[in-house]
Structure 1
């Protein structure tokens, strides 16, 4: 099944990745680390204890949501100025897939951003399992993207860093880790949403909790 067909069938929305996740139903907003900060106290040095906890939390989430036998879509989206040369978005697949010989397996779509002078180049590939990806390094690169001194990280050829989405088509879960601060988890099922919410209660972001407290009143 093609990615857009999957989103249309299971989420009733082929544009789900373009929506504001913060306002979408059946969506959780999680912090990857609540107790530590990126910078050491009274110093300009990075707090590596913070990053180690962020790496571990992102890894735990990923392995919770994508079991060994689950299929997954790896989706890469790169924003570019409408008048800039086309974006090359295949670096992620070249670097982090264990077997990337079949470049024609990638689904490509160019999307205009409404009311903005930008376009999005989107590449996606359906993989048989998480074993197809060097996912520990990929997760670390996502978390490191705002810190040039950390490795692994993405090559900064573009104005924006790539947006990476992981989709579990067997359980209808979307995981979007935006950087070291946190992530969104989306689903289409109320029962699964409540299960995930209970499972990750301690990780819910403060803004998400406050927003939902207001909506419950």
Structure 2
């Protein structure tokens, strides 16, 4: 099964771009960091806040994914059309335990999905890899997704105009997990029963939810 076939069968009309929660009828939007500000009074990074975010995203991931689940690790790279090389994206190689998986990554090009001036000059390349959580350095991946706006490591590399967006698509449980940055993350599912325990256990982190 490839990503396009799976999405057409299970999540019809959903675009794997930021704000998946707003596109789907069943999901949870989590607020991360417990209202702790990213910077201290002296403008230094508040590392305590980031430690809280790392812990929260790890907890959410482990509630949703088991080591043997089949998943797509999906990455959107936003680039200028004149940029020809697609080998610079540093999302997969640093975070894959087995480098043989690099040969299995698929890529498809789409129109640039956001409204900006001269959007027609840009495009989105969407990379996907069918794997299992046990194949990934998940903790480091979650940190890199959270570190988008700050000079912290680990960090995704190889992007040209926007930080890459990374989605975890659990095809065993029909759940999609997306960390948009240190402020929050989104979980959507075909069936709210799959994510109800998460909502009940970590209700204090919930910004909003919907179950159709």
Which whole-Å deviations, capped at 9, do the CAs of 1:154-209 have from their partners, x for residues lacking one?
Answer: 2254111110000110110000001111111011114335444334321112xx37
Name the CA distance, whole Å, in 1 between partners of 2:148 and 2:202: 24
Name the CA distance, whole Å, in 2 between partners of 1:160 and 1:136: 22
| Aligned-partner SS, 1:186 | strand
Check whether the contact 2:73–2:130 (CA below 8 A) recurs between aligned residues: yes
| Aligned-partner SS, 2:5 | helix
How far has the Cα of 1:47 moved from its partner?
Answer: 0.8
Q: Are residues 1:125 and 2:129 paired?
A: yes
RMSD: 2.1
* TM-score normalised by the chain length of structure 1: 0.84
Gaps of 5+ in 2: none
Check whether the contact 1:77–1:122 (CA below 8 A) recurs between aligned residues: yes
Name the CA distance, whole Å, in 2 between partners of 1:54 and 1:103: 29
Which residues in structure 2 correspond to 1:86-101 (within 5 Å)? 86-88=85-87, 90-101=89-100
Partner of 1:198: 200
Which residues in structure 2 correspond to 1:132-143 (within 5 Å)? 132-143=135-146
| Aligned-partner SS, 1:16 | coil
Structure number with the bigger relative contact order (C-alpha 8 A, sep ≥ 6) is: 2
| Aligned-partner SS, 1:101 | helix
Name the CA distance, whole Å, in 2 between partners of 1:55 and 1:145: 13
How far has the Cα of 1:100 moved from its partner?
Answer: 1.8
- Cα 1:110–1:61 change in 2 (3 A) is same
Check whether the contact 2:29–2:185 (CA below 8 A) recurs between aligned residues: yes
Aligned residue pair count: 204
* TM-score normalised by the chain length of structure 2: 0.86
Gaps of 5+ in 1: 213-217
Q: Compare the two structures and name the one with the higher helix fraction.
A: 1
Name the CA distance, whole Å, in 1 between partners of 2:44 and 2:18: 36
